[in-house]
Structure 1
Amino acid sequence: MNKTHIIFLILLISTSSIHTVYAAQLDATIAKDSQEFVPSFQFMRVVTINHDGDSELYRLMGNNVKISFDIDKTNAPSLISQINSDLKEKSFAKITDISGTYSAIVSVQEKSIGIEYKITLNPTIQNHYVGDSDTLDSQWRGFAIKEKIPVNTIYGEYDINSPSSALAVSSMNVLDYLSGSDALAILETPLIDANGISEFPLSKWESMFDPTAKMSETVNFGFSGNVITNYSMGICTVYLGLCEDKRVYQEFSIDGEKYSIRLMESQDDATIIIEGYVNESQIGKVEIFTIQDSAPIIVKESDMQVITMYGMAGIGVGAAAVFFVISDRKIKRTSSVQTGIDPIHLESVPISSSAGGYQTNRGTSQLKQ
């Protein structure tokens, strides 16, 4: 019985989300009849170059370096137009302003060089409703930029879309040394890429109605006192699949010295909170959210969470029933079937037959001689 409970609890725990670091992470909140909203996009990556500890790369590398600065439309004038250029191919929405931050940490170890990137972009989005406030465009949720994104910084003009920019600031000699090698392709893979979020169909996202917004305190967050709908992707469960990191690995050599480079990102993650009862639909090839005042009837083939939970509970109850049936049979068998020494091998012996005693009708048994 205890083992059954333990297995059941493990299965339940396994269905919870497991989050670490994401390649692209989106968080957005959209109030009813809003004229604009400001989502947050985060782009994260880790690049590691390994060497044997006594290499030319290690000798060229300097000390640990942290690069950080703010981003807005004054020091990154082309960023808004670059994102809008990608969105116009699939979305009605338009970006009118932007802010954000950039950081890159270069860590020099005895046998490796690690670079951790984190970019946060907060675009102001308008034209997100299609026709009326009951139809909300969703294709703004993902975009990618393949070109250079120049930002005016204290380090000079800095391309935030290229991982190699961090090495150009920390050690230009290292970047020159790696040029022409297979490592450069990884160091030039663009960082701004959230297409995985828009390409993952809304019908496969997890959605849930939440009455929290009806509380008066939520007015401070822009809600008008209606139900909100929470859409989430990137949830890792036993029925949707476990989280899988994105990895790129490449071995290379320069002047006979062997190296390896690894790029690592976790899978994309997103949460979109919309005021009202929301369901997903399509206009042509454009995915949209439809908003209603009353709860719609939603049936998703992929929405197996409740079924899975009740199925697990049923398995637990069934296992418990089997356990009790087996235990009951063991008890009955124990009480009705003689076990131990066969009575034909025993003989009775009177009690207290010794001198000074007295005999009674009670007796005991012993093995026959």
Structure 2
Amino acid sequence: MYKMFVMILVLVMVSSSVNHVYAAQLDAAIAKDSQEFTPTYQFTRIITINHDGDSELEQLIENDKIFFDINKDNTAIVSQINSEIRQKSFAKVTDVTGTYSAIISVQEKSIGIEYRIILKPTIQNHFVGDFDTLDSQWRGFSIDDAIPVDTIHGVYDINSPASALALSNVKALEYLSGTGAMEVLQTPLIDAAGISQFPLHRWESMFDPTAKMSETADFGFSGTVITNYSMGICTVYLGLCEDKEMYLEFTIDGEDYSIRSIESQDDATIVIEGYVSESKLGQVEIFAIQDAPMIDPENDMQAVTLYGMAGLGVAATVAFFVVSDRKAKRTSSEQTGIDPANLQSVPISSSAGGYRTNRGTSQLKN
């Protein structure tokens, strides 16, 4: 039983502390009575193409780094995000800024491409009717079509992984065309749908008084309590992290290749000023903001989880001390080894010219 408690506690601590690179990561701070706010979406993906070494693809492709800013003049992305979220949300995106990066690394038997896109849309109309009801459906979206952006490299589709190869490794992209690799290289990068598909009642939430600190004024908070909502936490009791992965094998002119796309599960943190709880208007999920906390003990899973883990820790501690105490008593009160009754004293020296003292050693009796 003691070992079982220790194993569970170790698993909880390890799984809770592992850092992950998230496919889509959302960070948002929404102040009370705000007219607009600017969340940050980060999209990350790593694609690896493996080969046996000295392949034709290795000869065609070169290391490359692509970086550029996404400015407010790129209205196409604004209309595409609005087209997606207006089907489910009252919120509206007025402009988008951000950055794009793709790094191509050629190794001995592999080619890696790492993508990172950061989008910062300005969102308005996020309150519904009054400032006590906050729309939540803006939090996740996905775009399947091309997203053309004007850059220093010309018009660039930031939604297609193949764009990184099309810019400076055209021959390598042509070599891969028509193979299974293109299925991975054409899977859209802008996909945060999992954030809106994960129901709000399964998010972790906690009231936090740190909004009263002067540093939070940068977020427009007025000095009241804030509520933290988060998803994507990986633990034994909430569920372990599951990576999103695609894997395909293909052959070109007798050369064998494999391509793998990896991105971790979605992650999000939404900080809202006030005491907030999740609710619904019909089938639409919303955040309800109150002046005082609304706590339902029967449905407060956070409290159940916290008390449950605390109880588990206490039980493990008690078990540890009980076992240790029993071992200590056994060591101090029980005789182990040879019974002294079976021993007899023997002088240290009996050789000629030697001398004897009252000191001696012991041996078993015959």
Q: Does 2:156 correspond to 1:158? A: yes
- CA RMSD after TM alignment: 2.8
Query: Do 1:18 and 1:243's aligned partners in 2 also have CA atoms closer than 8 Å?
Result: no
Equivalence for 1:267: 265
2:49 paired residue number: 49
Structure index of larger Rg: 1
Aligned residues of 1:18 and 1:235 also touching (Cα < 8 A): no
Q: 1:223 — aligned with what? A: 221
Cα deviation per residue 1:296-342 (whole Å; 9 max; x = unaligned)? Answer: 214446431342133222222133124324543564455xxx97448
Amino acid at match of 1:155: H
Matched with 1:187 is 185
Q: Determine if the alignment matches structure 1 residue 73 to structure 2 residue 75.
A: no
Compute the displacement of 1:107 (Å). 1.2
Shift of 1:43: 0.4
Report the equivalent of 2:358.
none
CA distance in 1, matches of 2:87, 2:194: 16
Q: Is the 8 A contact 1:17 1:235 kept in 2?
A: no
Measured against aligned partners, the alpha-carbon deviations of 1:217-238 in whole angstroms (never above 9, x if no partner) come to 4334311110111111111112
Take 1:252 and 1:346, find their aligned partners in 2: how far apart are those partners? 80
Q: Which amino acid in 2 is paired with 1:309? A: A
Partner of 1:214: 212
Equivalent residues of 2:97, 2:119 under 8 A apart: yes
Which has the larger displacement, 47-56 or 188-197? 47-56
Q: Partner residue of 1:244? A: 242
Deviates more, 1:101-110 or 1:157-166: 101-110
* Aligned pairs (5 A) from 1:127-166: 127-166=125-164
Tell me whether 1:319 sits opposite 2:320 in the alignment. yes
Cα distance change on mapping 1:178 and 1:331 into 2, 3 Å: same
Map Cα deviations across residues 170-192 of structure 1 (whole Å, 9 max, x no partner). Answer: 21111111111011011000000
Q: Distance in 2 between matches of 1:56 and 1:270?
A: 41
* Partner Cα distance (1:332, 1:341) in 2: 15
Residue 78 of structure 1 aligns to a residue whose secondary structure is: helix
Alignment deviations for residues 248-280 of structure 1 (CA, whole Å, 9 cap, x no partner): 110001122111111010111111111111111
Q: Residues 151 and 326 of structure 1: is their aligned pair in 2 closer, same or farther, counting only changes over 3 Å? A: same
Matched, 1:26 2:29: no
Q: Is the 8 A contact 1:150 1:159 kept in 2?
A: yes
Kept in 1, the 8 Å contact 2:60–2:172? The answer is: yes
Paired residues of 1:4 and 1:320 also in contact (CA < 8 A): no
The amino acid of 1:35's aligned partner reads Q
In structure 2, the residue matched to 1:204 is 202
Structure 1 stretch displaced more, 107-116 or 136-145: 107-116
Over 3 Å counting, the alpha-carbon distance change for 1:188 and 1:346 in structure 2 is: closer
The answer to whether the Cα contact below 8 Å between 1:227 and 1:276 also exists between their aligned partners in 2 is yes
The residue type equivalent to 2:316 in the other structure is I
Identify unmatched segments of 5+ residues in structure 2. 346-361
Report the residue type matching 2:186 in the other structure: E
Paired letter, 2:314:
A
Tell me the matched-pair count.
348
Is 1:39 aligned to 2:34, yes or no?
no
Contact 1:102-1:120 at 8 Å conserved across structures:
yes
CA distance in 2 between counterparts of 1:330 and 1:189 reads: 66
1:355 is matched with none
In 2: Cα distance, 1:298 partner to 1:156 partner: 55
Residue type at the aligned position of 2:128: V
Distance 1:308 1:368 in 2: 59
Over the matched positions of the two proteins, sequence identity in percent amounts to: 62
TM-score, normalisation: structure 2: 0.87
Write the mapping of 1:95-114 to structure 2, written as runs, cut at 5 A. Answer: 95-114=93-112
- Residue 94 of structure 1 is matched in structure 2 by 92
Cα 1:31/1:301, change in 2 over 3 Å: closer
Distance in 1 of aligned mates of 2:343 and 2:275: 82
Residue 328 of structure 1 is matched in structure 2 by 329
